[in-house]
Amino acid sequence: MRRITLILLFFVLCDLIVAQEKTLLYSHFSFNGLAINPAYTGRHEMLSVSLSHRSQWIGFDGAPSYNIAGIHTPLKNTAMGLGLLVMNESIGLRKYTGIYFNYAHRMALGNGKLALGLKGGMGTGRMETVDLGDDIVFADNEVSYLLPNFGVGAYYYTKRYFVGLSVPLLLGYRTDKSGKVTAYHDFNNYAYYLNAGIRLKLAPDWQLEPVTLLEYEKGGGLIADAGIGVFFRDVLHVGVTCRFKQAVIMLADFKISNQLRIGIAYDYGTGDLSSYYRNSFEAGIEYNFGYKIKAANPTIF
């Protein structure tokens, strides 16, 4: 059974390399702003550092695992925001790491700010061999690469609401007949992210926040998240999200201090294959340096 599973994973993973880098799922996406949209850079109005981890399809051999680290800040007395994003992805035998620099130009517009963002960097990956006793499986298919990639986005926000549109990765990676991985560009393979939310005041200490994250890729179709969260004194946040035909997500985050925030999310699969990989888990931590009271809702996505 292990050999059969590895063979099936191999063919799936080959397809992942040949096609555009697949859309990444984010359940607690307030910890992954830089990964979703480069225009988010500088959004917290202070130096901000975040780490997040996602284990998808817990209990399934070779299931996807993601680690994301980000740091970003606005530049004083300028319209610029700068950031650094490091993404690590593991799916079965396939390993991928991306290191990107983010830039955002932010300008006042109406009651809020409009940010236009760019992302550029390098992605590196490899297909690992598997040792099954006397056999080395897939040794002839081991490949590695170091290739560029870029992203763009726009993000508008006020004290009450936000909306962002982005294409986090403009290039795809594919293998040629010799087994070499190359970068290519194809508009048809873009993965588009649309994210929006609004804060509604319920009482002096309570706020309600409906949010949505739509991810569309021609090859994979539409992934639609819609949820609602409740905030108490802007310190405790709990919410529930529905990923259409895929999962119900329960999430929470807590401000330990004005600077430090932690959060978790749990996905309960509801799709046709959920009996094989029903559960996913996500955790994040964020630290904001130089906290200022006048920064409006620094934890809002």
What's the whole-number average pLDDT of the chain?
A: 83
DSSP E strands in the chain: the ranges are 48-55, 65-74, 80-91, 94-109, 112-127, 130-132, 135-137, 144-157, 161-167, 171-175, 181-185, 191-198, 200-203, 206-217, 221-232, 236-243, 247-255, 260-269, 279-288
Question: Among 39, 22, 35, which residue's Cα sits nearest to residue 189?
Answer: 22
What confidence category does residue 73 fall into, taking pLDDT thresholds of 50, 70 and 90? Answer: very high
The pLDDT confidence band at residue 298, using thresholds 50, 70 and 90, is very low
Contact (Cβ atoms closer than 8 angstroms) between residue 101 and residue 119: yes
Q: What percent of the chain is modeled with pLDDT above 70?
A: 81
Q: Is the pLDDT of residue 112 over 80?
A: yes
Domain boundaries, the chain: 2-288
Q: In the predicted model, what is the mean pLDDT of residues 197-212?
A: 94
pLDDT (mean) for 7-20: 40
Give percent of the chain above pLDDT 90.
57
Nearest to 173 by CA among 212, 247, 236, 122: 122
**In the predicted structure, residue 81 carries a pLDDT above the cut 50:** yes
- Mean pLDDT of the region 267-296: 74
**Mean pLDDT within 209-234:** 92
CATH topology of domain 2-288: Porin (2.40.160)
pLDDT at site 151: 96
Lowest mean pLDDT: which of 57-66, 97-106, 273-282?
Answer: 273-282
More confident: 22 or 216? 216
Q: CA 51, CA 32: separation in Å to the nearest integer?
A: 8
Kindly state the helix (H) or strand (E) to which residue 5 belongs, with its residue range.
Answer: helix 2-18
Asked whether residue 141 carries a pLDDT value surpassing 80, the answer given is no
Taking alpha carbons only, the member of 280, 251, 253 closest to residue 267 is 280
Query: What is the SS3 assignment for 12?
Result: helix
Are the C-beta atoms of residues 168 and 36 closer than 8 Å to each other?
yes
Name the token pair of 80.
Answer: 């610029």
2-11, 34-43, 81-90, 258-267: lowest mean pLDDT where? 2-11
| pLDDT confidence band for 26 (50 / 70 / 90) | confident
- Find which of 60-64, 164-168, 187-191 is predicted with most confidence, using mean pLDDT: 164-168
Beta carbons of 191 and 216 less than 8 angstroms apart = yes
The pLDDT assigned to 152 comes to: 97
- Measured distance CA(22)–CA(94) in Å, rounded: 13
d(CA 285, CA 253): 9
